[in-house]
Amino acid sequence: MNDSPTSPQTAWLYRALPWALALLSGILLGICSPPFHSSETGLIPWLALGPLCWALWILPRPGSLQAWSRRAFLLGWLTGTISFLISLYWLTTVTRLGWVLLSLVVGLYPALWALFVALVLRPMGEGGEGHDSAKAWLGSAANFLVALLAAAAWVAQEWLRGTLFSGFGWNTLGIGLRDSIPLIQIAAITGSAGLSFLCVLGAATLVITIERLRREIVKGRTKPHFDFMLAVMLVVVSFSYGIGKIRSATSSTAVLATTPIKVAGVQGNVPVYHYWDSKYDADIMEGYIRQSRLALATHPDLIVWPEASTPRPLLLDAIIYNQVKAVAADTSADFLIGSVHYEQTPRGDYNSAILLTGHAEKAQIYNKVHLVPFGEYVPFRHSFPLFSWIVGKQVPYDFDSGQGPAVMELSTKVDNQPLKIGTLICFEDTLGDLTRRFAGLGAQLLITVTNDGWFEHSVATRQHLANAQLRTVETGLPLLRVADTGVTCWIDSLGRVKQVLHDQNGNTFIEGVLSATIPVPLNPAPTFYTLHGDLFSHVCLGLTVALSALTFLRLRQRTFSLAPYACRVRRDAI
């Protein structure tokens, strides 16, 4: 069916309108993440995909399947690319070319979603091929199913984006709900995917409801919109679940099931390129040693330095190691220090977190598992030299990936049992499935050591924090973040940022120490997400793939069935 307008006066509008709507969705998606405050943009995550849904479901479409598929894909690509150009603008502090290329690449995932929405879900809402257009979008059951499947497909593409080719799960749509503390509690069951699901369900249902109302008004008769009621009820149930979870977590019984641990997070505020210049080595260590001695006045159980804070490998450089031991000799506190680490058997170069206990005489090591492509290694460095040429000297060599998550034991003990920490390095706290594996190994406190100084004083630090907030809800564990510069803070198990290191003007890009007392659960009950991981995302992915395959087979069968008729038409024409 060809829904294209025939009036020359309106043809230009119909040609431009889909692209304008896709552009609007891209802008709305882009401002769901920091620096835009969710308190100011609270409704935007619920509306962001509405314009694109309208372009894909309601506006006239080309009669040719190929033309319709091409336009749907390009509309989704425009939305995705624009959204990432906005939210990833901080990459320009490192590379403008990389900012554009990455936005174009990750923008392909929303393009796949748009293709699914156009080819699979639009026919369902319209009642299939050869439908009666007067009855399109008038059934609550079909409409609710379409909205649910649209939400599931969005979750599927976000999961793919965070998994394929080492993954880039940064800034999912659910991040836009980060400050709605009751609502984000469902992440303990579904992961952050459940938040994205609700947002897309809301946008899709709103678009369908508006179109259905318009058609009903034209017909002069309205009916109950059970699809809209069900969508609202699902959000209300999720919110109510969160309220109950918050009450339970703040009850006197829950408080008694924790033990306080004093921590000191040292933020060096060292310009990142100083780490690569040996003339700054002494200054870097002097700063961290001085701040650590100041921190000892609060009698901490644990002092934490950020990612790669030592200018040379901690355990392999006698001068640096002895400097740390000299500080540790004056305290019973443990030291968790981010540093480069090299091993001979098996051979490996690692970005590591090293826990020193017993006056720094004993060491436990965690080697980073999830490396950042083009940051810590160059994919296909030798087999595809173009990548290496683009990166240039910014990534002179590749790190190796660690064997897997590992918890470390502090000297602090409760009932003769040491407290266990799970340490995440840099962008690892944006990965829900990796973080929950630390919780599954028995971690009672999560700690992120990071160096966001690569992106200077950009919004990257605040986006990094927003992603980390959801990890605490997913695992039910508090999280301490210690950055070289950016946002050093701690987050409770409900996703609330409790304490942030900043100066009197609110500036977080400073040198200083965050001294905090964190209630650590003694016997944390694993959340559903900790036990089952991305099960919700996998179900959504399975549904999307199955429906896509069925649609492909149906379209292929229809093409074959029409082929003999097309041949007869061509012979008759001859």
Sheet holding 302-304, edge to edge: 362-367, 348-357, 334-343, 302-304, 258-267, 512-521
Provide the pLDDT for residue 560. 56
pLDDT tens-digit map of 257-275: 999 999 999 999 999 889 8
Provide the pLDDT for residue 135. 74
Looking at per-residue confidence, does 50 or 554 come out higher?
A: 50
pLDDT tens-digit map of 277-322: 899 999 999 999 999 999 999 999 999 999 999 999 999 999 999 9
Residue 400 · residue 387 · CB < 8 Å: no
- How large is the average pLDDT for residues 106-120? 97
Residue 565: pLDDT over 60: no
Provide the pLDDT for residue 185. 97
Q: What is the C-alpha separation between 457 and 469, in angstroms, rounded?
A: 20
Tokens of 418: 């040491």
Residue 450: pLDDT over 90: yes
Q: Which residue has the tokens 């699914």?
A: 116
Q: What is the C-alpha separation between 4 and 11, in angstroms, rounded?
A: 8
Query: In this structure, what are the phi and psi dihedrals at residue 311, rounded to the nearest 5 degrees?
Result: -70, -20
